[in-house]
Amino acid sequence: MNRGNVRPKLVLGVIVLGSFIASIDLTIVNVALPTLSRALQASNAELQWIVDSYAIAAAGLLLAAGNLGDRYGRRGWLTIGLVIVGASSAVAASAGSAQAVIGARAVMGVGAAIIFPTSLALVTNVFVDSTHRARAIGVWSAVTGIAVVIGPFLGGWLIEHFSVGSIFWVNVPIAVVAIVSVNMFVPTSRKPDRPPLDLPGLLVSTVGVTVLTYTLIEAPNIGWASARTAAGFALAVVLLAVFLWLERRTWHPILDLSIFANRRFSGGTAAVTTAYLVMCGFIFVATQYLQFVAAYRAFDTGVRLVPLAFSYAGLSVIAPRIVERVGTIAVVTSGLVMVAVSVACAGGFDAGTPYWLIAAVMAALGSGLGLTMAPASEAIMGSLSPTAAGVGSAVTGVARQLGACLGVAIVGSVFASVYLRSMSSNAALHGLDPAARAAMRQSMAAAKQVLDQLPVGEAPAIRHAVESAFLESFGVGCLACAVFAAVGAVVVAFLLPARGEVRDDVAVSVAASAIGPAEGGK
């Protein structure tokens, strides 16, 4: 396919279909965990691995996949990623054991690691004009973000109407359509030259990021001060330090460290990491609030998150136009401030909060995230030459994944610590059986099970104590999210320049030459 035959809007639609699949798989299984537990007789540890195996595999391989896409052809790599996700989804849907689902989800993560950087890199190379590129990245960001948020909604709907395997089967037809469309409409692109592969850097970065992601996910369960957690962080630091040492000394690094001296790149990366940290940390505690305090079912909980999803999508599309008028720094910092205020307000929710107020806060939060993510992603991609688009989008992906893991790990740990402290000191629980009291301290879900078995006369006082402990921990968790967003706004305001520089003519011509005939590279 020659560049003259490219239809950019159609290409964008095809590309975002692929990123939608990879993004929705991050959260679609969350509401299905109770059903999976019954269907597969899975333990709590196995349920956690069903969720986490995807994130660990995706985060660990993003940088390597982005570099390989730059070298060998992004369209072919996108096709491979879609095939992997589609095939592994079919395996997961047919699996009869938790171990099989965990393995299939890990393979899905490999496919996602390929899809994320190659899809964004293709958008960057097709839309070489800075204004059109910013708007296209806004659409890509909107679809990616909305998929993460509506995952629980779609998962809940599928579970209520079909078998548990439907949360995986839904990927298969989408993947097939995307594979055919990619090869019909999307031009290939890659680096004009093909330098020697930095294999040591590729391997060390993959292992280092994987170890870091795994440790962040496991730390809340095994303890932040445990020997295993300390060893995990120490190993990750050593591996990543070795990676940086290698990249400084090789002629053809997979990650040119000089790009971090670019304030647009560093500021955009900081904004993306902060936005995903706050979004995923908040969704982690907000879904529990909606289910356990507001008493919504799984599907209804997903529906209640829709205002967040649609406002996120709408502002992601509008944000690039606002940037054209007032500049990147004003839009991104305003977005993070809006995020901070929104989650701080959410911390005041209680059992009697009307849904219209919850929806208004969700919409404000989604708007802030939309104002942040699209301009920040464009700042990252716009600061690089088109030939480095895969690595730039891979860094964006790593920032998203690590931000998400940090959000759930840190906010989840704060939430759990406050809940445990409040439950341990509450006098209303002292008359309970020690085993029941210990179970109630573990989680709100366990507390609900104990409450259902209590005599009618005892239940109201204990229910009030449990809800009070939950709401206290929910409020502190939201406050932690607000602090992260506020600090992120300050950091981004310091790093980001007011307006980005437009790519020069040489860069644009390189992008055009990189999109050549379909043969010779996939």
C-alpha 326: how far from chain center: 28
Measured CA distances, 176 to 86, 117, 118, 133, 363 (Å): 7, 20, 18, 27, 33
Whether the pLDDT of residue 516 is over 70: the answer is no
User: What tokens appear for 424 in the block?
Assistant: 């341990």
Q: How far apart are CA 393 and CA 274, in angstroms?
A: 17
With a cut of 70, say whether residue 369 has pLDDT above it: yes
Residue spans of beta strands (DSSP E) within 341-494: none
For the chain, what's the residue count? Answer: 522
Cα–Cα distance list, 315 to 63, 99, 141, 312 (Å): 28, 40, 10, 6
| Residue 2 to residues 6, 71, 137, 233, 489, Cα–Cα distance (Å) | 7, 19, 22, 48, 42
pLDDT of residue 512: 37
User: What is the pTM for the complete model shown?
Assistant: 0.77
Is the pLDDT confidence value at 517 over 50?
A: no
Which range of 110-114, 297-301, 512-516 scores highest in mean pLDDT? It is 110-114
More confident: 239 or 464: 239
Quote the pLDDT of residue 45: 67
pLDDT score of 244 more than 60: yes
pLDDT band at 510, cuts 50/70/90? Answer: very low
pLDDT in the model for residue 387: 62
Identify the residue with better confidence: 473 or 30: 473
Mean pLDDT of the 199-214 span:
87
Q: For residue 520, what pLDDT band results from cuts at 50, 70 and 90?
A: very low
- Cβ within 8 Å of residue 27, ≥6 positions away: 148, 149, 151, 152, 155, 283
Which of 6-15, 269-278, 495-504 shows the highest mean pLDDT? 269-278
Question: Region 38-65: what's the mean pLDDT?
Answer: 80
Q: Is the pLDDT of residue 505 over 60?
A: no
User: Is residue 84's pLDDT more than 80?
Assistant: yes
Distance separating alpha carbons of residues 167 and 319, to the nearest angstrom:
32
Reported as a pLDDT band with limits 50, 70 and 90, residue 363 is very high
The residues near 188 (Cβ < 8 Å, ≥ 6 apart) are 1, 73, 74, 75, 76, 515, 516, 518, 521, 522
Q: How far is CA 254 from CA 48, 181, 395, in A?
A: 32, 29, 11
Residue 503: pLDDT band (50, 70, 90) is very low
Residue 341's pLDDT band, with cuts at 50, 70 and 90, is very high
Q: What is the predicted pLDDT for the residue at 141? A: 78
Helix axes 263-288, 130-161, angle to 10 degrees: 20
Q: What is the pLDDT of residue 342?
A: 97
Closest C-alpha among 156, 44, 153, 54 to residue 445: 44
pLDDT attached to residue 181: 92
Could you give the percent of the chain with pLDDT greater than 70? 87
Identify the band that residue 390 occupies on the pLDDT scale cut at 50, 70 and 90: low
> Where does residue 262 fall: left (phi above 0), alpha (psi -120 to 50 degrees), or beta otherwise?
beta
